[in-house]
Structure 1
Amino acid sequence: MRSLAGAGGEERERAWGDTLCSPPLLPLPGSLGPLGGGFRCFAHCKTAFFCFLLLLFLLWNKNEGVQVSPGCNAAVLGNLASPPLPWEPLGPEQSRPSAALLGGLPSCLRCLCIGTSVYCDDADLEHIPLLPPDTTYLYARFNRISAIWAGDFTGLKKLKRIDLTSNSISWADADAFRLLPSLQELILPENRLTALPELPRSIVRLDARLNRIPSTGLQPEAFRDLKQLQFLHLSDNQLDYVPTPLPESLRSLHLQNNNIQTMHKDTFCDSQDHSHIRRALEDIRLDGNPINLSLFPNAYFCLPRLPTGRFA
């Protein structure tokens, strides 16, 4: 800090220490914005030529964007009044920016992009961010996402895994995942879902544990045509019955801690074909349900192992 006193005892200060930004050409007083307040620079200029150059620099900054050095003081940044960028956090009065507004350009400003994997864990997100078109794996766990919209994953043809564990998702558009041709793993535990959207036929693993899904929240024969499905985990929901029919590819079925009270003899096996054996389905969890499995002895003949649950 350097002070200059006039002859009449009047003091004028110039703050050029920690309150300065240092763009490539000229130092700027901390009180100046990109253009607003720029005419006050004449109080600090010794020559009109210097002021002319400074004003040209300010106009250049306005058009090109201010280039701030790493040591720039935060107070100065606060004075650079400019409209918020489309990818900045949105207030409650603002609507979500569209892909058109963003010019189709993905942003990793709030996430970490490594190769084709995008990590957005614990980033205080309220919606799915715009993703790079070659995204293969998305991890957006421990956020505040409340809904999944049909356009959230549009065009992501290489997306294989979506992990949205521990958000506040209560609704997902029916077409949110259906058109993803490469999707293999959909991980949705610890949310507030009351219904499952339609799934792509490429799905291998569905994990929707610890939600609020009743049997009416599943589409009729929701899993019948999912010929690649191997892991179906719907424990800790509000299901009243085992969803049927189940694809032959299924290896693990977790339905513990629901409200399942009964089943029919064709739930797992074809009662008309006693030669039918489901060799893949070795892991069935029905514990924590009010059903007494011993009441349905003919329902398990095709299984390599009995379900886990209450037999008394």
Structure 2
Amino acid sequence: MTLHFQQLSLLLLLLLPGPQPAPGMESSAFPHLGESLQPPPRACPLRCSCPRADTVDCAGLDLQVFPNNVTRAAQHLSLQNNQLQELPYNELSRLSSLRTLNLHNNLISSEGLPDEAFESLSQLQHIYIAHNKLSVAPQFLPPSLRIADLAANQVMEIFPLTFGEKPTLRSVYLHNNQLSNAGLPLDAFHGSQAITILSLSSNRLSYVPPSLPSSLERLHLQNNLISKVPRGALSHQTQLRELYLQHNQLTDSSLDATTFSKLHRLEYLDLSHNQLTEVPTGLPRTLAVLHLGRNHIQRVTAAQLRGVLGLRYLLLQHNRLGTAGLPAGGLPAGALRPLRGLHTLHLYGNGLDRVPQGLPRRLQVLVLPHNQVAALGARDLAAMRSLEELNLAYNQLASSRVHRRAFRPLRALRSLDLTGNQLTRLPSGLPASLHTLRMQHNQLRALEPELLAGLEQLRELILAHNQLRVGTIEPGTWHELQGLQVLDLSHNELSFVPPDLPVALEELHLQGNRISHVGPEAFLSTPHLRLLFLSANRLHMSSIAPEAFLGLLHLHVVDTTGNPEQVLVRLPHTGLRRPRGGS
């Protein structure tokens, strides 16, 4: 059937797009059939982005005034990293659908924040005003709030309805401000019993605030001026798991047997960098980590720790154990034995003259550097058969006073650090389980094969800053170390590359020696070499034989800086000749 001409014309009019408006004229002046299918364009402030109908992102645009034209439907508004100095009430009050308001890192002062600024934001859940210039907190924040971040301002005072009467509030961040106890009202958190995280660190508090939420799980009070914990101040925080009190002015009289006794779920307690001379009593049984470093503790007894038998990590570094002339150096034999589950013990920087005796048998990490340990007897380490890491760096150990069986019982030992002692030879009886051995900054003059025998699992051997020469490294020294991947012989007295290096070697440090020539056979035994350091030796332009790196297909770093002349290096797998050093 043939269409009539008038019918055909009507059909074409319907299919063709409607007429376009002239510049400056409203498109509604030209209604057409397809108009109802096109959604109207979303309003978005100039230079901002609006990836979704409910999101407006104006971050990092150096804005100095609050953007206009923010859609009323906005639920998430990002204004962080700008130059805003104030929030206009008329612009903010119409955004009643906001759930997230990010004002982090601006220049907003309390004078630029009207008292009623957030009054109409009844849906607000997350507010971030950290890194601004507020001197007082907002007087009112909506009850719908879940997270409030006012950190890194100059806040000296908060108000009852800043954080009070917020039944869903969970996290409050007020660290790095200027809050004193006078600026924190007793009812600051009244009616907000869902808060689990409260950060008040780096303020000017002189005592632990009372009336803190009983729902707290993590409380940060470090870097204040706290010299007192009022009796009962922590008696209601029975959900608390982590308590940070380091870098304050706590003394023994600041605490008593009841201070922590109600914290039945406490797992982490940090009291480091205070003025304690004793381990606090009344510690909760649930404690897993106790940090007491940087105090003035002179003595630790079993009675002080009898309540924390489940302790896993005990940190006592930089105290005065062993410096007061007390019997057994302030850590009597068996003082820590009741801590049967202890995993890690830090005693760094005390004055101990021997390894403490009677340590828990399941101890896995013992950190003892910077003490005065001068000898190791046959039985000093015998009870610690589970030990995996032993650090005795920077003590006063001499080879003549280390018993030949001192390390033999440590059958699980994986890492041994003897850096900075007075050892002239490797210890004997090293356990076969060893993966890392650090011996730098000693007085080693020779290496003997029998002392490395059986160390097939050794992966890293650090012998830097000793007095080794190639002639004092006995033949066969490397034979047992077939799994060695990292060897550091830097800053010794080597005149050439030691021969017969371990076949698995991947990283070789020879910097700071006296090497003047690298022959063609230097690396024949190390086909997996990836990193080679030859800086600060006596190499000249042609000191390295062109064939030296043949077959080293994995080699990609050769450092020859700091030699008398620039050294040319040929890497055969790249075909390049590149200078890797200079005068």
- Shorter-normalised TM range: 0.5 to 0.7
1:170-249 equivalences under 5 Å are: 170-171=398-399, 172-198=402-428, 199-215=430-446, 218-241=447-470, 242=473, 244-246=477-479, 247-249=481-483
1:221 and 1:85 map into 2 onto residues whose CA distance is 41
1:142 and 1:228 map into 2 onto residues whose CA distance is 28
**Secondary structure of 2:416's partner?**
strand
Structure 1 unaligned spans of 5+: 1-68, 72-83, 270-277
1:287 aligned onto 2:511 = yes
Structure 2 unaligned spans of 5+: 1-254, 258-298, 303-320, 544-583
Rate the CA distance shift 1:175–1:219 in 2: closer, same or farther, 3 A: farther
What is the aligned partner in structure 2 of residue 29 from structure 1? none
1:254 and 1:210 map into 2 onto residues whose CA distance is 12
**Secondary structure of 1:118's partner?**
strand
1:19-98 equivalences under 5 Å are: 89=322
- Aligned residues: CA RMSD: 3.3
Q: How many residues align?
A: 210
1:299 aligned onto 2:522 = yes
1:222 and 1:299 map into 2 onto residues whose CA distance is 24
1:113 and 1:139 map into 2 onto residues whose CA distance is 18
Give, as a single letter, the amino acid of the residue that structure 1 aligns with 2:433: S
Shift of 1:116: 1.6
Give, as a single letter, the amino acid of the residue that structure 2 aligns with 1:119: H
**Secondary structure of 1:222's partner?**
helix
Shift of 1:304: 2.8
Answer whether contact 2:353 2:371 (CA < 8 A) is retained.
yes
What is the aligned partner in structure 1 of residue 533 from structure 2? 308
What is the aligned partner in structure 1 of residue 252 from structure 2? none
Give, as a single letter, the amino acid of the residue that structure 2 aligns with 1:211: N
2:495 and 2:364 map into 1 onto residues whose CA distance is 40
Q: Which protein has greater RCO, CA pairs closer than 8 Å, 6+ apart?
A: 1
**Secondary structure of 1:174's partner?**
coil
1:156 and 1:308 map into 2 onto residues whose CA distance is 38
What is the aligned partner in structure 2 of residue 106 from structure 1? 334
**Secondary structure of 1:268's partner?**
coil
2:509 and 2:422 map into 1 onto residues whose CA distance is 22
1:114 and 1:168 map into 2 onto residues whose CA distance is 30
Rate the CA distance shift 1:290–1:85 in 2: closer, same or farther, 3 A: closer
1:139 and 1:253 map into 2 onto residues whose CA distance is 23
What is the aligned partner in structure 2 of residue 258 from structure 1? 492
2:515 and 2:450 map into 1 onto residues whose CA distance is 22
